Structure 1
Amino acid sequence: MDIFRWDVTLTVLGVVVPIFAALYEFVFVGRKRLGYRVQMDTVASDEVHSSYAGALQRLERDGGDPLLDPSFVLLRFENNGATHIDESDYAVLDDDRVGIRVAFPGRRVAGLVVTELSHEYLRPSFEGDSGLHVRDGVIQLPRVPMNRGTHYKVLAALEREEGETRAPGTEFAPPRVIGGIKGGVGSGDIPETRSRTGISLPTVALVCFLVVIIVTQLGISLSADDENAPLDCASGELTLTGSTAFAPVLDEAADSYESSCPDAEITVAAGGSAQGLTQLDRAGREHPDGRPPMLAFSDGAKDDGHPQLLPRPIAFSLFTLVINEDAGVLDLTPEQLRAVFDGRLTNWTELGGNDVPIRLVGRHDDSGTRRVFQRQVLDGDREPASTSDNCRDRDPGADDPVIRCERGSTDDLLDAVAATPGAIGYAELGAALERDELPRARIAGHEASLEAADHDAYPFWETELAYTYGELPADSLAASFLRYLTNQVGQDLIRAHGHRPCAELQNPVLCRPLTDD
């Protein structure tokens, strides 16, 4: 018997190598990483003999004396790691407002400006008594909280230190950046980065490796004499309804199942958790055998009134708050959230943000995501009714102190929050992660994560349940699809969309089909 199997070996390599590459990039190399670039370091005095030099010939100190060998330096500081950087991440004492110091050997700073903020919410970090100073010719930069991918630039005018000499045409020594990040790469230093264009060599090598793996496995598959039908295939028609937040998983799982089982036809018609449960209950009562070819997926447990519907835990779903970047707020306590959504707070300045009116974007009343938000975040209070169709203008006759609008799907809500200044809404985490332009607000300092939810620090989560009308026949397409959704292939799909399979949780109590109180 041939024990060695090429297909298994190639599969293992195809999985292990990308995982190792990802771990290397995002764990060993790309954790918390704050870097800088010297985008310009040029002397302003060597080439000013032109008649067009203008103001460059009059670079002066505050007292009117000309600068010695004036030069300009443009520095870019960027969060190029895999996680966010908070004020507490800077490797300085707690009472030190300065996070980074920049010295220029042989030169002193004559003036500076902070320019090109990648996001407006960075501005307050440089205003007032923030720690931004020039002291003893050294730039002192405050401890700026920076989301992943954000940056700011510092433009400085410098002059040669008295007593220092420099031959014409020679360059000054490069700047020296002093600072560190707790838990950062290596020793936590702030390294100088390089701007790169094109695809990196490691990326090309990894892509080529995966192409070879795929082509080789395809050749093995085509040459194999395997006429057996896929395991656990069922035929017939099946409708999947309910949660729009879980619909992307169902779409991909249905396509994958149909590819393996060509005699099956699965339709995804998600219109909201409550609507899906009602449709399943009606279909079961009207079906001659009481076994409708339908499954309903719900964000959380059903309401009273559907005694024939039986739940089956499928996944642990995290939800998050999304907020328009104009708001200038990224962290809210549960008490502040309740004050925002019940209309007691009407402008983001009341929460330390920008002078922008608060606008609320919610889901329709039959949305499971809305019910989770009301139950887990608003302490069971219901969101008031909509007062606007376009999320910007109040409907005639509406007297709510804030503008509220509702959207029928997760994608529509995300679009509305992104397009409406000062808007805040809520969505399933996997969908929100795909929208880079939408900041995700923390709740009491905690991001949406399995670890935070497991320790009762993050409240906005729920169990994704599949409901059946009574017990399913073991050979039915519905039963086969549920088994498929909870086996390895289905778990991979669930995980890929930001959820976690219930079977993987260390604390199985998190996945529980509880009824509403």
Structure 2
Amino acid sequence: MDLDFNEWVAVISIAIPSLGFLWEFAVVGRKRLGYRVQMDTLAEHATQSPYAGVLRDMQLNGHRLKDPSFVLLRIENAGSALIDDIDYLTPSDDPCGIRVTFRRRHVAGLVVTELSQDDLRESFVRERQDAPGFVAVPGFGFDNNAESLTGVIRLPKVKLPLRAEYKVLVVLERWSEDHTGEPFPKPVFRGAVGAHRRWYDPLARFVRLSVAKTESHVFASRPAWIGIGLLAAAVVAQGAITLLLPPDRAPLDCVGGTLHLNGSTAFAPAVREAAARYEEACAGKDVSIPVGDGTFDGSGAGLADLEKAGQEAGVEVGEGLGDHITFTDGIASGKHPRALYRTVAYSVFTLVVNRDAGVENLTVGQIRDLYAGKITNWSQLNGADVPVHLVNRHVGSGTRSALVQRVLAVKEGDNRQPPQATVDDCTALDDDTYGVCEVDGTESMLETVSGTAGGFGYSEVTNAEKRAKDDRDLVRITIAGQQATLDGVENGDYPYWQTELAYTYGEPPAGSLAAAFLTYLTEQGGRDVLRAYGNRLCSEVENPRVCEPS
């Protein structure tokens, strides 16, 4: 059978859990002997009680026990089948099935305290033939080794029906040669069971060499069974889907081809990730959406590229270009008769300042005075004695337009632009003199403000947050005490935001890649990407005014 990589993964994902289940529950798990140490405690602290005389007087062969301790063991059938006496993996001539070793302790005595079934009693004692009473059966008892300072109890090959169990109480003392006062090591169990004369017996012996420690349930609890069933069903379903569906089957609304995106640098990170996810989801349709570092060069430049592409393609009036989309922060300035837009979401913007300025909060009036050139030193705003260095985006930037329209404008229709640049390059700013410069993207803006004493600029809020986490020189400004948040915008408390628009050259044809990607971005998986980048979809806003483009 000729299988590709994904199909092999599906086969293996079904085979391994299935084999593991069969091995655990049908092979090894059929004969599983379990144990629990339900009590292992010293009697020395209890002897301080006024009613503990019996414990103080515990003796063996005429001497008082040294540091006596009590251990309660529970032995159980933790498998799914009967454990017979021939299932114990010890020599046939050895009547002992389980040995428990207590290091640095001497066994003073042991007794079987509880049997889940009365029939189990005959595995431990039998009636005397020569006198009244009972004697221990072969394989049940204890030994002590003075050389190794160990005590060992022997438990016989008990026939244990399903879920049967018995308990053994052991009384021990510290060897007189052992002078340490440290806690005793945990008991060591030796013993195993398995089905004899079967094909898997050698492997079972190799894997399960000792009796298994069990917890609160003898086999598996109901929640465990439910979890096992759900896991198995999920694995089978995943494998079946991968095997039965045609390879690289794409969603029904995927469209192949190449799509060109451009526009806002502030909105670019979210669009880039949405494009990557669309390519991944529609891999079977041979989709290509190239979005490198230089793809997004601003709202104005992006719209110019869109119109150029439409004209070069010779798109007639009434038709549309299906392989180009430009994203802008708000309505693009100028006349663009063939460019159509639709609202996508709204983004929050923030003002940023270099930490050396010594300010964290500004009123709208103070911001307007800064961009009017009335304030040239941060000391005028009770900040540090550091010159103001305004860092602007170039004309045509959507982030700059949002600042002008939402913050600097005193009334609707105002077009109070930031001051003209005083230098051609931001690196030419004089540290001791007020100055203004311009940059061409969001990342350049944040980097310049961070590296310029007294630097002051603006950015989309998510980009600024990410940069500020690792850059202590960059500080986000609150406006009149209000943080830059989505709720602050919808409540009318925060003024700096803008609607994100998707421009196309004419109406993109039905079935085109541009139309499919816009649907994905606003109605399908792209919605989660936009939310993750701090945007709120226009279809989800409670206050419709925030998605009215300006």
TM-score (norm 2): 0.51
Provide the residue aligned with 2:532 in structure 1.
Answer: 496
Distance 1:315 1:448 in 2: 16
Distance 1:476 1:415 in 2: 38
Distance 1:306 1:216 in 2: 56
Distance 1:445 1:256 in 2: 38
Distance 1:447 1:360 in 2: 21
Distance 1:235 1:318 in 2: 33
Of 455, 464, 467, the residue aligned with 1:432 is 464
Provide the residue aligned with 1:273 in structure 2.
Answer: 299
Provide the residue aligned with 2:311 in structure 1.
Answer: 285
Provide the residue aligned with 2:245 in structure 1.
Answer: 226
Of 361, 364, 387, the residue aligned with 2:391 is 361
1:382 and 2:450 matched = no
Residues 386 and 405 of structure 1 are in contact (CA less than 8 Å); yes or no, is this contact kept in structure 2? Answer: yes
1:317 and 2:343 matched = no
Q: Which amino acid counterpart does residue 256 of structure 1 have in structure 2?
A: R
Of 458, 470, 476, the residue aligned with 2:506 is 470
Q: CA deviation at 1:347?
A: 1.1
Distance 1:422 1:315 in 2: 33
Residues 425 and 438 of structure 2 are in contact (CA less than 8 Å); yes or no, is this contact kept in structure 1? Answer: no
Provide the residue aligned with 2:447 in structure 1.
Answer: 415
Distance 2:521 2:235 in 1: 25
Distance 2:353 2:380 in 1: 16
Paired residues in the alignment total 298
Q: CA deviation at 1:474?
A: 1.3
Describe the superposition over 1:391-418 as per-residue Cα deviations: whole angstroms up to 9, x where unpaired: 36448xxxx9721111111111111111
Residues 315 and 464 of structure 1 are in contact (CA less than 8 Å); yes or no, is this contact kept in structure 2? Answer: yes
Distance 2:334 2:235 in 1: 51
Describe the superposition over 1:278-311 as per-residue Cα deviations: whole angstroms up to 9, x where unpaired: 1112222231334332111000012231011111
1:302 and 2:338 matched = no
Distance 2:233 2:393 in 1: 47
Q: CA deviation at 1:219?
A: 8.0
Distance 2:441 2:265 in 1: 6
Provide the residue aligned with 2:174 in structure 1.
Answer: none
Provide the residue aligned with 1:244 in structure 2.
Answer: 265
Residues 330 and 498 of structure 2 are in contact (CA less than 8 Å); yes or no, is this contact kept in structure 1? Answer: yes
How is 1:474-489 mapped onto 2 (pairs within 5 angstroms)?
A: 474-489=510-525
Distance 1:306 1:460 in 2: 25
Distance 2:405 2:232 in 1: 50
Describe the superposition over 1:346-398 as per-residue Cα deviations: whole angstroms up to 9, x where unpaired: 11111011111111111111211111111111113111222235536448xxx
Describe the superposition over 1:47-100 as per-residue Cα deviations: whole angstroms up to 9, x where unpaired: xxxxxxxxxxxxxxxxxxxxxxxxxxxxxxxxxxxxxxxxxxxxxxxxxxxxxx
Residues 343 and 401 of structure 1 are in contact (CA less than 8 Å); yes or no, is this contact kept in structure 2? Answer: no
Residues 393 and 403 of structure 1 are in contact (CA less than 8 Å); yes or no, is this contact kept in structure 2? Answer: no
Q: Structure 1 residues 454 and 488 mapped into 2: Cα distance closer, same or farther (>3 Å)?
A: same
Describe the superposition over 1:301-352 as per-residue Cα deviations: whole angstroms up to 9, x where unpaired: 1223101111111111100001111111111111111111221111111101
Provide the residue aligned with 1:449 in structure 2.
Answer: 485
Distance 2:233 2:484 in 1: 40
Residues 373 and 419 of structure 2 are in contact (CA less than 8 Å); yes or no, is this contact kept in structure 1? Answer: no
Q: Structure 1 residues 389 and 235 mapped into 2: Cα distance closer, same or farther (>3 Å)?
A: same
Q: CA deviation at 1:222?
A: 4.4
Give structure 1 stretches of 5+ with no counterpart: 1-212
Q: Which amino acid counterpart does residue 341 of structure 1 have in structure 2?
A: Y
Q: Which amino acid counterpart does residue 234 of structure 1 have in structure 2?
A: V
Residues 312 and 513 of structure 1 are in contact (CA less than 8 Å); yes or no, is this contact kept in structure 2? Answer: no
Q: CA deviation at 1:498?
A: 1.4
Distance 2:515 2:290 in 1: 15
Give structure 2 stretches of 5+ with no counterpart: 1-229, 410-414
Q: Structure 1 residues 384 and 479 mapped into 2: Cα distance closer, same or farther (>3 Å)?
A: same
Q: Structure 1 residues 350 and 509 mapped into 2: Cα distance closer, same or farther (>3 Å)?
A: same
TM-score (norm 1): 0.55
Distance 2:239 2:448 in 1: 47
Provide the residue aligned with 1:461 in structure 2.
Answer: 497
Percent of counterpart pairs with the same letter?
45
Distance 2:276 2:236 in 1: 23
Distance 1:215 1:512 in 2: 51
Residues 333 and 396 of structure 2 are in contact (CA less than 8 Å); yes or no, is this contact kept in structure 1? Answer: no
Residues 498 and 549 of structure 2 are in contact (CA less than 8 Å); yes or no, is this contact kept in structure 1? Answer: no
Distance 1:218 1:274 in 2: 51
Which one has a bigger Cα radius of gyration? 2
Q: CA deviation at 1:216?
A: 10
Q: Which amino acid counterpart does residue 451 of structure 1 have in structure 2?
A: D
Distance 2:491 2:290 in 1: 38
